[in-house]
């Protein structure tokens, strides 16, 4: 069994304002699924593994610091073009959860 299913998952519903770099206008009056995001122990490792398996990256891996934490996110595209995201966070100076 893949380690993907061994972790508790949380569904995040997100909205990006027009000033956000990830903003895209709604398609079909907002009825289309845009992306799914999963919290994982190591987003960089998961993103890299999925790309090596042939999944197409939606955008480059992102790492930034916020409120004393390092946040890592990576997005791939499924066969329908829906973005699948992997996110992890850790305290600065420590490994990802």
Burial code of 39-72, b = ≥16 C-beta within 10 A, e = fewer? Answer: bbebbbebbeebeeeeeeebeeebeeeeeeebbb
pLDDT mean by block of 10 residues, the chain; 97 residues: 58 74 68 78 94 92 90 90 90 64
Determine the Cα–Cα distance for residues 47 and 58; give it in Å rounded to an integer.
Answer: 11
Q: Is the pTM of this model over 0.85?
A: no
pLDDT at 1: 44
- Which one, of 35, 42, 31, 96, lies nearest residue 69 by Cα? 96
Fold of 34-97: 2,3-Dihydroxybiphenyl 1,2-Dioxygenase; domain 1 (3.10.180)
Per-domain residue ranges of the chain: 34-97
pLDDT at 35: 79
Q: pLDDT tens-digit profile of 20-41?
A: 877 777 666 555 667 788 889 9
């Amino acid at each position: 069994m893949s380690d993907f299913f061994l972790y508790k998952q949380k569904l995040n519903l997100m909205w990006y304002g027009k000033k956000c770099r990830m903003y895209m206008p709604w398609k079909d009056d907002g009825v289309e699924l845009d992306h799914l995001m999963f919290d994982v122990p190591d987003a960089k490792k998961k993103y890299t593994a999925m790309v090596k398996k042939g999944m197409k990256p939606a955008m480059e891996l992102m790492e930034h610091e916020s409120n004393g934490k390092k946040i890592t996110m990576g997005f791939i595209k499924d066969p329908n073009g829906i973005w699948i995201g992997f996110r992890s966070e850790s305290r600065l100076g420590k490994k990802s959860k």
